[in-house]
Amino acid sequence: MLSELSEWFWQERLWFPEGLGWADLEDRDGRVYAKPSDLWVALPITLVFLIVRQIFERTVATPLAFLLGVKETVRLKAPHNPTLECYYCNVSKTPSQSSIGSLCKQTGSSERQIQRWFRRRRNQDRPSLLKKFREASWRFTFYLLAFIAGLAALIDKPWLYDVKEMWEGFPVLTLLPSQYWYYMIELGFYGSLLVSVASDVKRKDFKEQIVHHVATILLISFSWCVNYIRAGTLIMLVHDSSDYFLESAKMFNYAGWRNACNYIFIMFAAAFIITRLIIFPFWIIYCTWVYPVTIYKPFFGYYFFNGLLMTLQCLHIFWAILIIRIAIRFLTNNEKVDDERSDKDETDESEEEEEEVKDKNHSRKNGPMQNGHTIHNNNHRKTE
């Protein structure tokens, strides 16, 4: 059964144009070609990335955070309450008004106390600024180094300047050592992101991130197997060219460096729009969708590869809308750059601080309080 499935999966008509096959990619005359078995190398690289990330975040990111002034806010813990904890874990983190009334009767607490408990409990589960800064600094470091390495590997290659050159001699394209390591490192990194996504900071586009990571891994793996390596290196370079701007903007945002964050974000927005909405669809996808059919007849791999590229392009449009919306707010109103993908719970802490201030002001205005009610003073002096 497995052998039949493997034989069907690797049949040449699915992976290659008519008249070409796996025999064309066998090493000979000192020429080396990409092979599907090479992809297993990405597994240990993924593990290495996970280990290196832990070391980096502790030894580099944490001291850098303190150097830039990343401040941790002291969060008030919700008092232990089995009834509310059970509702929080099993029913909802944000109870409705009717549920709050029911919880008031069960616990003997006021509505305001119930709301405050749930705010504090949600804040306990929120990731800290230090955790966010560590993640951003790790991704910033990788994307910057990957972009520099990719540019160094492609700077003298003709297909960087004329994208039609990526199909010259296809599929008999010799594999270069720089291409091998560029592919394996990128594949290992995105594999580590997919493994760690469950423990990383969750944002509103969590599902889109999963789709992006899976599509990227499939795209890298498939392009390797069918020797679309020249196209793959260009796609990876385009994606790495703007991401380090975003991660650096996040770092300055968490550190409270508002102006630096805002202006770097504008640079990121410009780079993202140019690379993802202009170069990627009108140069790269055009050359993988339109030009190849002038050389060979379309086959399954052709449709599958371009389908993955179109999936990425849809995600680019989705993220571009969010980016442009933030940029317009900043340019027109000079507002602070905020990540629209962040969870709404991130406002809970400021709301609680406002309530604490109100309580204090109310206490000063009405005198001492006891169980939420003003203590009446009956020792009045009668005036004559």
Q: Give SS3 for 54.
A: helix
Residues 261 and 178 in one domain: yes
Query: What integer pLDDT is reported at residue 333 of this predicted model?
Result: 64
Residues 217 and 315 in one domain: yes
Residues 238 and 91 in one domain: no
Query: What integer pLDDT is reported at residue 108 of this predicted model?
Result: 80
Cβ proximity of 133 and 65 under 8 Å? yes
Residues near 181 by beta carbon (within 8 Å), at least 6 away in sequence: none
Cβ proximity of 13 and 299 under 8 Å? yes
Query: What integer pLDDT is reported at residue 7 of this predicted model?
Result: 72
Q: Which residues pair with 370 in a beta bridge?
A: 373
Query: Could you tell me the CATH number of the domain that includes residue 108?
Result: 1.10.10.60
Query: What integer pLDDT is reported at residue 205 of this predicted model?
Result: 63
Residues 202 and 299 in one domain: yes
The verdict on residue 384 lying in a domain is no
Residues 94 and 194 in one domain: no
Query: What integer pLDDT is reported at residue 276 of this predicted model?
Result: 93
Q: Could you tell me the residue range of the domain that residue 98 belongs to?
A: 82-125
Cβ proximity of 75 and 120 under 8 Å? yes
Query: What integer pLDDT is reported at residue 1 of this predicted model?
Result: 66
Residues 244 and 276 in one domain: yes
Residues 62 and 89 in one domain: no
Residues 290 and 217 in one domain: yes
User: What is the Cα–Cα distance from 201 to 209, expressed in whole angstroms?
Assistant: 12
Residues 109 and 238 in one domain: no
Query: What integer pLDDT is reported at residue 335 of this predicted model?
Result: 57
Cite the DSSP H helix spans in 198-299.
206-225, 229-255, 258-274, 286-289
The verdict on residue 276 lying in a domain is yes
Residues 184 and 264 in one domain: yes
The verdict on residue 44 lying in a domain is yes
- The per-residue pLDDT string of the chain (384 residues; one tens digit each, 9 = 90 and over) reads 667 777 777 777 777 777 777 777 777 777 787 888 889 999 999 999 999 999 999 999 999 999 988 876 666 777 787 888 787 787 777 888 888 888 887 888 888 888 888 888 777 767 788 888 999 999 999 999 999 999 999 999 998 988 888 888 777 778 888 999 999 999 999 999 988 887 777 776 677 778 888 888 988 998 898 888 898 999 999 989 999 999 999 999 888 888 888 889 989 999 999 999 999 999 999 888 888 888 888 888 888 889 989 988 998 998 899 888 887 877 776 555 555 444 444 444 444 444 554 444 444 444 444 444 444 444 444 333
The verdict on residue 347 lying in a domain is no
Q: What is the pTM of this model?
A: 0.76
User: What is the Cα–Cα distance from 185 to 191, expressed in whole angstroms?
Assistant: 10
